Amino acid sequence: MSPTTAPGGARRPTLRDVARLAGVGVKTASRVVTEEGGVSPAKVEAVRAAVAELGYVPDAAARGLRRGDRRAGVVAVLLEDLSNPFSASVLRAVEDVVRPRGLVVVAGSLDEDPEQERRLVRAVLGRRTDGLVLMPAGGDHGWLARELEAPGGALLGGVLGRAVPVVFVDRAPVGVVADAVRADDRDGARGAVAHLAGAGHRRVALLADDPAVWTAQERLAGYRDGLVAAGLPHDPALERTGLRSEAAAEAAVLALLDADEPPTALFTAQRRLTAGAVRALLARGRERDVAVVGFDDVVYADLLRPAVSVVAQDPGRIGALAAELLLRRLDGDRSAAQDLVVPTRLVPRGSGELRPVAAAP
């Protein structure tokens, strides 16, 4: 078996093979395959037949190598965790928008790890990625912009040399000017607190992730905005941040329920934390007297009793808008960087409409 032969058998047919079989020059075969036009009908026919007979598929990499634009038809989508519903919905939405353009999607999970983010961004850019949708993991992304070049700042050079458009999703870029599409985290959180205050609650606790995560920071700010707007006092004892898991939220809620002055309502600023809180309330049989509003919708929240009220985001919309923006940049749009903020929607289902109950002695 010669080194140019694949282990299993025949060499993959090349354009040269097609040309030879069709009895034309390579360039003519290329013209037919790329539908460049300007080829006599007879030769078009011959080339088409050869392509079919050999099962010829153009090599996208070789094509991109010589072409000026060097487009490989690949969009990278780097998100927090491909297996979580939010990331998964964003990915799917991007896929649906770019597929009709013949683009293929490279996907990766960053797990909130800046190191992994850097590695994956490099890996992906080394593979001729045309564009990047990024849910940023670390804080500052100046490194991404080392060679920020384009007018509006929407195109990043950096390790790439060649300008590659980048659109941030879910979180605004820090330390770099770039396009972004995200939910209105702050306003959504504010609205949740307003909703609970409207039901009569004066002691609303916050359960949130590590404020190092951009969205957690925003939601914390929104929570405080909401307290101020409702004229409620700010009680640090009700503010539980740094919660990184469902179990952590569960423990935090149990502790809150046992406090001297327990909250009558909870605003859980993240999906897993909502689940943990509900679990704690069920464990104590308190699900009907402590109100809950969660940020980000929970699958089958409406099947729970009480059904869980949430501030819903629209990951599908965020992904689609990001992909559309990316395509526009790929098409040469050099206008100023955009920051698209998608509104959230409060979905009342029961848990957020419970009225305050005097704490049992």
Residue 152, binding choice from a copy of itself, DNA, none, Cβ under 5 to 8 Å by partner class: none
Separation of alpha carbons 47 and 56, rounded Å? 11
Residues from 45 through 84 that contact DNA (CB under 7 A): 56, 58-59, 62-63, 65-68
Q: Would you give the binding string for a copy of itself spanning residues 75-114, x where CB under 8 A is met?
A: ------xxxxx--xx-xxx-xx--x--x-xxxxxx-----
Please identify, using beta-carbon distances, which residue of 16 and 234 lies nearer to DNA.
Answer: 16
Q: Output the 3-class SS for the chain.
A: CCCCCCCCCCCCCCHHHHHHHHCCCHHHHHHHHCCCCCCCHHHHHHHHHHHHHHCCCCCHHHHHHHCCCCCCCEEEEEECCCCCHHHHHHHHHHHHHHHHHCCEEEEEECCCCHHHHHHHHHHHHCCCCCEEEECCCCCCCHHHHCCCCCCCCCEECHHHCCCEEEEEECCCCCCCCCEEEEECHHHHHHHHHHHHHHCCCCCEEEECCCCCCHHHHHHHHHHHHHHHHCCCCCCHHHEECCCCCHHHHHHHHHHHHHCCCCCCEEEECCHHHHHHHHHHHHHHCCCCCCEEEEECCCCCHHHCCCECEEEECCHHHHHHHHHHHHHHHHCCCCCCCCEEEECCEEECCECCCCCCCCCCC
| Choice between 21 and 107, CB closer to DNA | 21
Q: Could you give the string, one character per residue 207-246, with x where binding to a copy of itself holds by CB under 8 A and - elsewhere?
A: ----------------------------------------
Q: Taking a C-beta distance cutoff of 8 angstroms, is the pair 295, 66 a contact?
A: no
Task: Return the range that interacts with DNA (CB under 7 A); candidates 38-46, 222-230, 280-288, 306-314.
Answer: 38-46
Asked whether position 248 contacts a copy of itself by CB under 8 A, the answer is no
Question: Rounded to the nearest whole angstrom, what is the least distance from the CB of residue 330 to DNA in the complex?
Answer: 16
Q: Which of 38, 102, 233, 332: binder of DNA (CB under 7 A)? A: 38
Question: How many residues interact with DNA (rule CB under 7 A)?
Answer: 31
CA separation for the pair 110, 144 (Å, rounded): 15
Instruction: Give me the 129-158 binding string for a copy of itself, x by CB under 8 A, dash otherwise.
Output: -----------------xx-xx----x-xx
Window 257-316: residues binding a copy of itself (CB under 8 A): 275, 278-279, 282, 298-300, 302-305
Q: Tell the smallest beta-carbon distance from residue 11 to a copy of itself (Å).
A: 6
28 binds, among a copy of itself, DNA, none (CB under 5 to 8 A by kind): DNA
Among the listed residues 20, 26, 44, 58, the single contact to a copy of itself using CB under 8 A:
58
Q: How far is the CB of 120 from DNA (least distance, A)?
A: 19
Binding of residue 39 to DNA (CB under 7 A)? yes
State which of residues 22, 32, 125, 265 lies at the interface with a copy of itself (CB under 8 A): 125
What are the residues binding DNA (CB under 7 A)?
3-4, 11-12, 14-16, 24-28, 30-31, 33-34, 37-40, 42-43, 56, 58-59, 62-63, 65-68
